[in-house]
């Protein structure tokens, strides 16, 4: 059974972009094929809630092989998109100063419906623990306001942030 909604996705204004791909790049080091966050549309730093989306494109690296003639956006990349949303939150709110937030773990991942090229995957995260040593967010994904995945994402600080600026 799906968890209680963090935030009703139908209440989000997806046209009210607070961080576009350039702003995301300033916070997150992901580039090229590993950029899986298109925009951030909501952030509440008091409740530790963030929402964004990924526009799933037919020209992405996985589309021809997962699966031929029936492309499905891989669940592991849906979780990566959620992790990138968490990373954006942590980096823009100085959660672990001087550190990049890396994926430390995934728990309770469930996939409910297929996500296909042309879909807009809306991701909503809520911080359960937001700390400089470990950050845990519940994440939920939606397409057309229908739940498609959920997971819990753990972020941990990793050094080397200075080497990424450059």
The residues that are catalytic are 66
Name the burial class of residue 103, with classes exposed (0-12), middle (13-18) and buried (19+) by CB atoms within 10 angstroms of its CB: middle
Hey, how many other C-beta atoms are within 10 angstroms of the C-beta on 99? 18
Determine the Cα–Cα distance for residues 52 and 121; give it in Å rounded to an integer: 8
Determine the Cα–Cα distance for residues 112 and 93; give it in Å rounded to an integer: 31
Lookup result for tokens 């298109």: 38
Determine the Cα–Cα distance for residues 90 and 96; give it in Å rounded to an integer: 7
155, 83 in Cβ contact below 8 A?
yes
Opening angle at CA 45, ends 17 and 165, nearest 5: 70
């Amino acid at each position: 059974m799906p968890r209680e909604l963090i935030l009703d996705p139908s209440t989000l204004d997806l046209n009210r972009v607070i961080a576009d791909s350039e702003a995301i790049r300033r916070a997150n080091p992901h580039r090229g094929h590993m950029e899986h966050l298109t925009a951030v549309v909501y952030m509440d730093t008091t409740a530790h809630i963030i929402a964004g989306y990924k526009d799933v494109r037919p020209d992405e690296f996985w589309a021809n092989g997962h699966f031929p003639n029936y492309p499905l956006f891989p669940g592991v990349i849906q979780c990566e998109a959620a992790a990138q949303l968490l990373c954006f939150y942590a980096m823009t709110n100085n959660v672990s100063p001087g550190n990049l937030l890396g994926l430390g773990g995934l728990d309770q991942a469930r996939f409910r419906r297929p996500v296909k090229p042309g879909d807009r995957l809306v991701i909503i995260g809520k911080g359960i623990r937001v700390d400089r040593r470990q950050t845990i967010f519940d994440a939920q994904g939606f397409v057309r306001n229908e739940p498609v995945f959920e997971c819990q994402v753990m972020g941990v600080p990793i050094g080397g942030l200075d080497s990424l600026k450059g």
